[in-house]
Structure 1
Amino acid sequence: MKSLRIYATPDGESHFDQVDLPTTKRSVHPDATPFDVTASYPASRVRLTHIPAGMREVAWHTVPEPVLTVRLDGSVEYETSDGEIRHVRAGSFVLVEDTHGKGHLSRHSPEAQTVIWISLPNGLDLPPV
């Protein structure tokens, strides 16, 4: 399963990456076809965020800890300090790990949005870039 990732290098520059989260086929019910499931990752808290209509741009910022964001509606455009821009639609999730450095910029679509923030104290234990 693929996930967009925002991370910072030791020099403080933020970048995008696409990571592949390993999955295995699992049957969760005798009558259901097995489907792909990732490993379990420890989460320290879950927050639901309501972004009001008209928020538009959030200036350069970092996250206080690695978070997996799940966008339920609306859309956002992220820009990293290396100048790369990615558009994220509703139904997508992003691993945001730029806890230091210059951070990233967020440009929100004009409508109100709901985002789930899942705090991951150890990230997803992915190999360093």
Structure 2
Amino acid sequence: MKCLRIYATPDGESHFDEIELPTTKRSVHPDALPFDVTASYPASRVRITHIPAGVREVSWHTVPEPVLTVRLDGSVEYETSDGEIRHVPAGSFVLVEDTHGKGHLSRHSPEAQTVIWISLPNGLELTQS
């Protein structure tokens, strides 16, 4: 399962990466067909954020700890300090790990948005694609 990642290098510059979340086929209950399921990852908290309509750009910022964001509606455009820009539509998830350095910019679509933030203080063990 592919996931967009924002991370910082030791010099504090932020970049994008696409990572692969390994999955295995598992049944979620005895009568279910198997689904592709990732490993379980420890999370310290879950927050649901409502971004009001009209909030457009959030200046350069970092995250206090690694967080997996799940965008339920609306969209966002992220820009990393190396100048790369990625559009993230509703239904997408992004692993944000730039906890130091310059950070990234967030440009939100004009409509209100709902985003789930899952704090992952130990990050994830991932295979790079």
| TM-score clears 0.5 | yes
**Structure 2 Cα separation of the partners of residues 29 and 68 of structure 1:** 26
Deviations 1:15-63 (A, max 9, x none): 0000001110001123321010000000000000000100000000000
Residue 50 (structure 2) pairs with residue 70 (structure 1): no
What amino acid does structure 2 have at the position aligned with 1:52?
P
**Structure 1 Cα separation of the partners of residues 56 and 112 of structure 2:** 10
What amino acid does structure 2 have at the position aligned with 1:55?
V
Aligned to 1:83: 83
What amino acid does structure 1 have at the position aligned with 2:66?
P
Aligned to 2:112: 112
**Structure 2 Cα separation of the partners of residues 113 and 104 of structure 1:** 19
**Structure 2 Cα separation of the partners of residues 112 and 65 of structure 1:** 25
Deviations 1:72-127 (A, max 9, x none): 00000000000000000000000000000010000000000000000001111236
Mapping of residues 18-97 of structure 1, within 5 Å: 18-97=18-97
TM-score, normalization: structure 1? 0.96
After superposing on structure 2, the runs of 4+ consecutive aligned residues of structure 1 that deviate more than 4 Å are none
> Gaps (5+ residues) in structure 1?
none
TM-score, normalization: structure 2? 0.96
**Structure 2 Cα separation of the partners of residues 8 and 127 of structure 1:** 17
User: How many residue pairs were aligned?
Assistant: 128
